[in-house]
Amino acid sequence: MNVANCLAQSTRLLTTSPTARLDAELLLAHVLNISREKLQVSFEHSLTSSQLRAMNEYVKRREKGEPIAYLVERCEFWSLDLCVMPGVLVPRPETEMLVEQALKYLSEDISCRVADLGTGSGAIALALAHERPSWKLVATDRSAVALALAQNNGRRLKLANIQYYLGEWCQALPDQKFDAIISNPPYISSDDLHLINLDVTFEPKSALFSDNNGLSDVQQICEQARAFLHPGGYLMIEHGFNQGAAARNIFKHTGYSSIVTYRDLANHERMTCARIL
């Protein structure tokens, strides 16, 4: 079987994916160890029996809902190629909003100190370190597996302006003050209807679910971050599309000002930013 026929067959088999053709291309490129661009000009290339078996196995796993990022062990975030793995949350495109707002609010000309709480694969911290080499980044996670993955991504990308700390939220931070603290914490309530997305069932529950209608970790971060921010420092937190009002209320009652919620490309309230005075 050649590449063109394999892609056509795999696309037909991926009935549960809304991006079946793209998934098939990513999986086959991974099997052949070539880029998608190279795949596009290799339609007549014949697959070996072992390559075909590997592709069929990947298609079966994808059809059951396993995230593409876990299958190909890669994910793009902020144009950076990140390694990902089961047990660590797959970075979402909407999380790039946190990077955008941090770059907008913080000065490019000074050496800002920024913390990324719950860094996972390191996506936010690595994106900021890449964009602002003069900044000093701190990345924390309560998962040793996730933190090791973030460190590995940092080494692969040759980003030396990041320090990594193991621990829960601000408890992991060194005794320093920060210009900004940023986080994409767990914010899904256990009864959230949007868990119908099969991909989510394969990801670590500790990185997805939070008590108190999904807001327990947002509350903890707001309470703890005040002691680690410079006067005028920023706290930026991603939250669920229906949690904007509740997030603003938490920020207000934990002593923050200049509270603003930003919408994602789907026009959903997705992240809230505030300052400590």
Can you tell me which residue has the tokens 């998962």? 143
For the ranges 82-86, 163-167, 191-195, the lowest mean pLDDT is seen at 191-195
> What is the average pLDDT across 9-25?
95
* 182 occurs within a structural domain: yes
Query: Do 222 and 270 have their domain in common?
Result: yes
What are the strands of the beta sheet with 162-166, ordered from one edge?
162-166, 136-141, 113-117, 178-183, 229-238, 269-276, 256-263
Asked if 182 and 175 count as a contact pair (C-beta separation under 8 A), the reply is no
Query: Do 234 and 187 have their domain in common?
Result: yes
Note the pTM of the prediction, 2 decimals: 0.91
Residue 209 to residue 231: CA distance in whole angstroms: 31
Query: Do 108 and 184 have their domain in common?
Result: yes
pLDDT in tens, 256-274: 999 999 999 999 999 999 9
| CATH number where 43 lies | 1.10.8
* 70 occurs within a structural domain: no
* 225 occurs within a structural domain: yes
Q: Among 248, 241, 236, which Cα is nearest to 269's?
A: 241
pLDDT-derived band at 216, boundaries 50, 70, 90: very high
Q: Can you give the residue range of the structural domain that contains 237?
A: 85-276
Asked whether residue 189 carries a pLDDT value surpassing 80, the answer given is: yes
Give the chain's domain count.
2
Query: Do 126 and 259 have their domain in common?
Result: yes
Query: Do 154 and 21 have their domain in common?
Result: no
